């Protein structure tokens, strides 16, 4: 650790691409995710006023079907790229694998839409949501490149562009046609435009800068010359897929943490109740996205601390992330407890004031979920992908079990309690593994020092 700059030595390699400081990266990504999440929330508010709770429920159901599929297909490549401190793979390897898995995900979503027995319009909504998620998945691999090189400003700008444009596109599509189908088609157009006009050019600039830096460091020779193009090397792609597959399951489980309650609410209570549930829960989504984004921006630094056996630096940074999660969760729950009724009536519709107690329950569930973000990033920084996968999978099993019992008995409040129980189980599991790993790392380091001292004394 450099005491004057506060950066680890791994961040100061000669000839490396200029990175932003950790506070600046956190500020950028917090701003970007705040804009993007606020835009998602505004989309819900707009749909609520244009089409009512049923239209909001239909939108939520369409993305609830797609998101876990794309989460699994993503293979957690963003986390794998960001924590690849030793540069074991090239960008082209990640990009090629993401292209293959994203196309497969769209085919699976199309199959679900066709075989699910939904009405034709609902099936079309699911397919359009799948196309939008495919385009966002391709943007995500370019975001991962910026993330790895600690340039979260470029990632954040992409979110700031795409989020508001999606609000305008969805509003225009639904307002002019009265159909959610055209609104979702407009979302896909915006996702494609952001990918082609911003994310790809930004990624190209980053790759060129990396190649120039490598050339300067190695006598004019760029070691990773594949550039921005996919690198179709099946053995490498298979090794990468095997490494990152547990992360893909983790991402899918995180998506299911949000989607499963929506499936169950739609099944037991209908799309009108789902519209109410989603509308209120979005009050807590801003904090969740902020905590997740700050955690992601800290992931590369945590990985470098752990790789260097700097458990003190690792623990301090993780402690700060946990404090941010606790602070935001507490503030959100208290704010809704004090002003929930008037806020719901003002933002949504007057009759939403009756759901003030439900809003408090959902914010408590969201606050429990906030803590899973930094602890999950901490496990990924340790490259404990399989462990994280098991913990998240068990959390979904708990959610399913609790939801099928509590939602029929207690309605939407039962859904909130089920989410809270599931998140708490994941928090306890992640925290236990992180503490055990840090103690083991400290013990190993102490043993190594003792062996070194003994060798010197013997000599």
pLDDT: which is higher, 187 or 220: 187
Task: Check residue 83 and give its pLDDT.
Answer: 59
Mean local confidence (pLDDT), 55-68: 87
Task: Check residue 136 and give its pLDDT.
Answer: 93
pLDDT band at 133 (very low <50, low <70, confident <90, very high): very high
**pLDDT tens figures, 256-304:** 888 889 889 988 998 888 888 988 888 887 778 778 777 777 777 888 8
Task: Check residue 431 and give its pLDDT.
Answer: 92
pLDDT: which is higher, 92 or 155: 155
Task: Check residue 213 and give its pLDDT.
Answer: 66
**pLDDT tens figures, 328-356:** 889 988 988 888 888 888 888 888 888 89
Task: Check residue 3 and give its pLDDT.
Answer: 37
Q: What is the pTM of this model?
A: 0.69
Task: Check residue 85 and give its pLDDT.
Answer: 56
**pLDDT tens figures, 33-57:** 888 888 888 888 888 888 888 888 8
Task: Check residue 192 and give its pLDDT.
Answer: 95
Secondary structure of the chain as H, E, C letters = CCCCCCCCHHHHCCCCCCCCCHHHHHHHHHHHHHHHHHHHHHHHHHHHHHHHHHHHHHHHHHHHHHHHHHHHHHCCHHHHHHCCCCCCCCHHHHHHHHHHHHHHHHHHHHHHHHHCCCCHHHHHHHHHHHHHHHHHHHHHHHHHHHHHCCCHHHHHHHHHHHHHHHHHHHHHHHHHHCCHHHHHHHHHHHHHHHHHHHHHHHHHHHHHHHHHHHHHHCCCCCCCCCCCCCCCCHHHHHHHHHHHHHHHHHHHHHHHHHHHHHHHHHHHHCHHHHHHHHHHHHHHHHHHHHHHHHHHHHHHHHHHHHHCCCHHHHHHHHHHHHHHHHHHHHHHHHHHHHHHHHHHHHHCCHHHHHHHHHHHHHHHHHHHHHCHHHHHHHHHHCCCHHHHHHHHHHHHHHHHHHHHHHHHHHCHHHHHHHHHHHHHHHHHHHHHHHHHHHHHHHHHHHHHHHHHHHHHHHC
**pLDDT tens figures, 215-228:** 666 544 344 445 67
Task: Check residue 308 and give its pLDDT.
Answer: 84
pLDDT: which is higher, 333 or 4: 333
Q: Check pLDDT > 50 for residue 458.
A: no
């Amino acid at each position: 650790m450099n005491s004057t700059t506060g950066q680890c030595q791994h961040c100061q390699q000669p000839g490396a691409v200029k990175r932003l400081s950790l506070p600046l990266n956190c500020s950028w990504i917090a701003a970007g995710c705040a804009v993007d999440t606020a835009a998602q929330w505004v989309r819900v508010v707009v749909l609520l006023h244009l089409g009512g709770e049923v239209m909001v429920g239909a939108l939520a159901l369409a993305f609830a079907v797609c998101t876990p599929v794309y989460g699994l297909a993503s293979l957690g490549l963003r986390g794998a790229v960001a924590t690849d401190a030793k540069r074991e793979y090239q960008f082209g390897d990640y990009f090629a694998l993401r292209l293959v898995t994203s196309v497969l995900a769209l085919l699976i979503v199309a199959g679900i839409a066709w075989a699910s027995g939904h009405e034709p319009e609902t099936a079309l909504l699911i397919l359009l949501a799948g196309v939008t998620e495919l385009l966002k998945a391709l943007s995500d691999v370019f975001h991962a490149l910026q993330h790895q090189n600690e340039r979260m400003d470029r990632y954040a700008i992409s979110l700031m562009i795409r989020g508001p444009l999606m609000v305008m596109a969805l509003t225009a599509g639904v307002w002019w046609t009265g159909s959610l189908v055209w609104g979702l088609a407009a979302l896909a157009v915006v996702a494609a435009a952001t990918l082609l006009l911003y994310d790809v050019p930004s990624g190209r600039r980053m790759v060129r800068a990396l190649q120039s830096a490598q050339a300067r460091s190695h006598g004019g020779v760029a070691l990773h010359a594949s550039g921005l193009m996919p690198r179709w090397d099946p053995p490498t792609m298979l090794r990468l897929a095997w490494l990152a597959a547990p992360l893909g399951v983790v991402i899918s489980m995180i998506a299911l943490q949000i989607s499963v309650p929506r499936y169950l609410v739609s099944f037991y209570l209908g799309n009108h109740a789902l519209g109410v549930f989603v509308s209120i829960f979005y009050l807590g989504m801003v904090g969740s996205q902020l905590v997740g984004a700050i955690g992601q921006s800290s992931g590369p630094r945590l990985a470098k601390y752990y790789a260097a056996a700097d458990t003190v630096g690792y623990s301090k940074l993780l402690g700060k992330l946990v404090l941010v999660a606790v602070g935001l969760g507490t503030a959100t729950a208290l704010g809704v407890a004090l002003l929930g009724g008037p806020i719901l009536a003002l933002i949504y519709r007057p009759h939403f004031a009756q759901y003030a107690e439900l809003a408090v329950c959902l914010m408590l569930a969201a606050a429990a979920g906030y803590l899973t973000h930094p602890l999950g990033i901490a496990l990924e920084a340790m490259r404990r992908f399989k462990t994280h996968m098991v913990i998240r999978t068990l959390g979904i099993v708990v959610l399913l079990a609790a939801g099928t019992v509590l939602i029929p008995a207690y309605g939407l409040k039962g859904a909130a309690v089920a989410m809270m129980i599931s998140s708490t189980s994941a928090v306890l599991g992640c925290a236990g593994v992180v503490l055990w790993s840090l103690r083991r790392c400290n013990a190993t380091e102490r043993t190594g020092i003792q062996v070194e001292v003994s060798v010197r004394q013997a000599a």
